[in-house]
Amino acid sequence: MSIFNELAPQHRLMPEAYRELSTEEMERRVRAIKEKHGDELLIPGHHYQRDEVIQFADVTGDSLELARLAAQNTRARHIVFCGVHFMAETCDILTQEEQTVVLPDMRAGCSMADMANMAQTEIAWRLLTEQVGDTILPLTYVNSTAEIKAFVGRHGGATVTSSNARQVIAWALKQKKRILFLPDQHLGRNTAYQLGIPLEQMAVWDPYAKRLETDRDPEDLRILLWKGHCSVHEKFTVAQIEEFRRSDPEVRVIVHPECTYDVVMAADDAGSTKYIIDRINEAPTGSKWAVGTEMNLVRRLAARHPEQQIVSLNPDLCPCLTMNRIDLPHLLWSLESIDRGETTGIIRVSQDIAEDAKAALARMFEHV
Ligand code: 13P
Ligand code: SF4
């Protein structure tokens, strides 16, 4: 289900009064609530979150790390997830019944996750299996709705993250002749290519035209890529890489695999959010980087490493707009609603969907 369908009355919008508070006042109140609730309250924060929010995160990580931490934590009664909707859903699926997962702003969706819905997926599956029979294993990037994860789980498939896509796709191709990879065509293409699968054996499924964008015989295809993308990572281009190289040949370009195939091929290095952070943390003084990923993270890396030169590959890029919906006023509002016993923004995945989605997540954890 798209998050916009979930904007039910219980998901109220933040009262405007929160916007009028000073930063100092908001920070003081957040600290007070964290202190009062101790380890009964957990705030996980994705690396793409704003500094004003991430400073209060008890744990930070990429989507794989946050999913793992959620699965391990049985202590926290309230989990205030600072990230986007699909991450909070995953957290709810992996945590215990008595734990409540909250998203501080229900409008913090993910445009990529919303590019694949259930009706489209059922149609794609029917049409593709009519063409190639029972030869497809579905995989979905965790950046997808719980319903899509459940669909994948029901059909024997698994979720993947950008940190483990390689291992999971390699496993999947031993189970079935081909995979259907939802919803990010770029992560699917880049990873399959890294595994040695030629582009000729890949084709894009267009959920609107309801067909594969290829003239090839579907029998010859191994990777069926859903026509989805990340609106942030698609904004990096080969021209930007060339421009950096012209102005300073010492700059190393490192990008996320949600970038297009051409950009990943032209870059010096590519890898998940965690991979990018690790490479920069390990780099020697004086290293120069142009980084192709979300802006909040690039700015934070630059601040953390003044001994290096770290800039965005696209300096005009905005941060991920939906990630940025979680700001300090929303975090405070969310925490105070919990404190008053009137929790807003609860993310609850229905039992039947959660069970099938959990199967897909469990298969991912088995193979990484
Ligand atoms: P990772 O955290 O898996 O690198 O994903 C990046 C992303 O786009 C999260 O929305
Ligand atoms: Fe979605 Fe891209 Fe934003 Fe990640 S960065 S939440 S994939 S839109």
Do 226 and 237 fall within a single domain? Answer: no
Do 222 and 238 fall within a single domain? Answer: no
- Expressed in angstroms and rounded, the spacing between residue 322 Cα and the centre of ligand 1 is 13
- Closest ligand to Cα 256: 1
The domain in which residue 344 lies consists of: 3-108+322-349
Do 134 and 224 fall within a single domain? Answer: yes
pLDDT at 294: 93
- Expressed in angstroms and rounded, the spacing between residue 40 Cα and the centre of ligand 1 is 27
Do 168 and 237 fall within a single domain? Answer: no
**Ligand 2 in reach of 322 Cβ (< 6 A):** yes
Do 181 and 223 fall within a single domain? Answer: yes
Do 125 and 99 fall within a single domain? Answer: no
Q: What is the CATH number of the domain that holds 331?
A: 3.40.50.10800
Burial class (CB in 10 A: 0-12, 13-18, 19+), 355: middle
Do 257 and 225 fall within a single domain? Answer: no
170-179: string of b/e by CB count within 10 Å (b at 16+)? Answer: ebbbeebebb
Last-in-domain residue among 293, 312, 331: 312
- Expressed in angstroms and rounded, the spacing between residue 162 Cα and the centre of ligand 1 is 7
Do 157 and 217 fall within a single domain? Answer: yes
Do 122 and 22 fall within a single domain? Answer: no
Contact 79, 99 (CB under 8 A): yes
Q: Ligand 2 atom closest to Cα of 294?
A: 5
Domain count within the chain: 3
**Ligand 2 in reach of 234 Cβ (< 6 A):** no
Does some domain include residue 355? no
pLDDT at 11: 58
- Expressed in angstroms and rounded, the spacing between residue 169 Cα and the centre of ligand 2 is 21
Phi-psi region of 345 (alpha: psi -120 to 50; beta: other; left: phi over 0): left
Does some domain include residue 169? yes
Q: List the structure tokens of 71.
A: 């699965």
Q: What is the pLDDT along the chain (368 residues), one digit of tens a residue?
A: 445 445 444 557 899 999 999 999 999 999 999 999 999 999 999 999 999 999 999 999 998 889 888 889 999 999 999 999 999 999 999 999 999 999 999 999 999 999 999 999 999 999 999 999 999 999 999 999 999 999 999 999 999 999 999 999 999 999 999 999 999 999 999 999 999 999 999 999 999 999 999 999 999 999 999 999 999 999 999 999 999 999 999 999 999 999 999 999 999 999 999 999 999 999 999 999 999 999 999 999 999 999 999 999 998 887 899 999 999 999 999 999 999 999 999 999 999 999 999 999 999 999 87
Neighbouring-strand partners of residue 100: 78
- Expressed in angstroms and rounded, the spacing between residue 287 Cα and the centre of ligand 1 is 24
Does some domain include residue 287? yes
Taking the whole predicted model, whether its pTM rises above 0.85 is answered as yes
Does some domain include residue 80? yes
Q: Ligand 2 atom closest to Cα of 233?
A: 2
Does some domain include residue 354? no
- Closest ligand to Cα 295: 2
Do 66 and 172 fall within a single domain? Answer: no
Q: Atom 3 of ligand 2 has which residue's CA nearest to it?
A: 320
pLDDT at 8: 46
pLDDT at 5: 47
Do 277 and 248 fall within a single domain? Answer: yes
Does some domain include residue 362? no
Does some domain include residue 47? yes
- Expressed in angstroms and rounded, the spacing between residue 62 Cα and the centre of ligand 1 is 6
Do 146 and 102 fall within a single domain? Answer: no
Q: Atom 7 of ligand 2 has which residue's CA nearest to it?
A: 230
Does some domain include residue 360? no
